[in-house]
Structure 1
């Protein structure tokens, strides 16, 4: 015989469960409000629409970029193409369209550190062949690295300790952060917030 469900047989309709859900929703709304208050002012400026600029120097090639890459609510295509070249894989002489969110991560971190120096880029885009060769040389190189997707960079900021850069970026939770203290650089990416 088929059983007829009463409203209270459904856990979603149970007043106790419904009450808990409201408490959880209220808590999440409060957490979102608290998070918005704790995001550093300069990180909030990204959402506010202020122009974003970077100073980049590629260690291996000497290529550089200094300028605005985002203004008036949009990315500057010419600036992005220039950045693609600077972040390209020098060992394969290959470029890829970099994810512009990576530039936003770099911009935000530099601003939070009040850094005026150019980022020194040790590694930007990596062709799959380059990444595979590095992964064979070191266990620290991921075989599925975001470098191959144009979403990551290994960088230094002259005048800033790598530990300080990593700590600031990790506190902001705007992407992945890897500290390579012995090598003197920090991995920053625009993937999910995580650290190593």
Structure 2
């Protein structure tokens, strides 16, 4: 048995090697659910947060395993920016976001409007809008509100609905789509 040495590849180096050489074909609407069950070699999320100026383009899953460091980075970007509070984002939500993104056939990152929300932030938003749920899945790190410049609310929501994996809300007047890993349902217009 050989002992590891400084020349051996780290997990991060292997991740870089996979990222540099892997090609992932965008799945069709018919096999989006297969992607969520573990089909494919890698899962990658691209997203920007205009509130903080942060950008993320990370591979967070390789060959059936989540990369803990990458999921932590995603959770950090999806934090409650108003209170600077981080909560672990449910990987099911990240998977739905990724599957929907792949279905749209674009490399443009999502624009994140809201990820995790602290109880204080949710209460403040609820006092300003009737569209904010008292027991929102944002409070559990299980939801995201997203938009893209090159895709309409209708296109994004159609891709998310094709995943058959959670809630999808269309907010056409505010130009965003809500995705969560809760019960499969849809609303809005």
TM-score (norm 2): 0.80
Q: Which has the larger radius of gyration?
A: 1
Aligned position for 2:63? 72
1:186 to 158, 177, 180: 177
Let me know the Cα RMSD of the aligned residues: 1.5
2:30 to 19, 40, 53: 40
Which one has more relative contact order, counting CA pairs under 8 Å at least 6 apart?
2
Aligned position for 1:162? 153
Partners of 1:151 and 1:189 within 8 A in 2: yes
Ranges in structure 2 where 5+ consecutive residues have no aligned partner:
1-27
Q: How many residues align?
A: 159
Aligned position for 1:110? 101
Q: Does the residue aligned with 1:48 lie in a helix, a strand or coil?
A: coil
TM-score (norm 1): 0.77
* Deviation of 1:139 (Å): 0.8
Q: Which segment is superposed worse, 119-128 or 65-74?
A: 65-74
2:91 to 74, 87, 100: 100
Aligned position for 2:75? 84
More helix by share: 1
Q: Does the residue aligned with 2:126 lie in a helix, a strand or coil?
A: helix
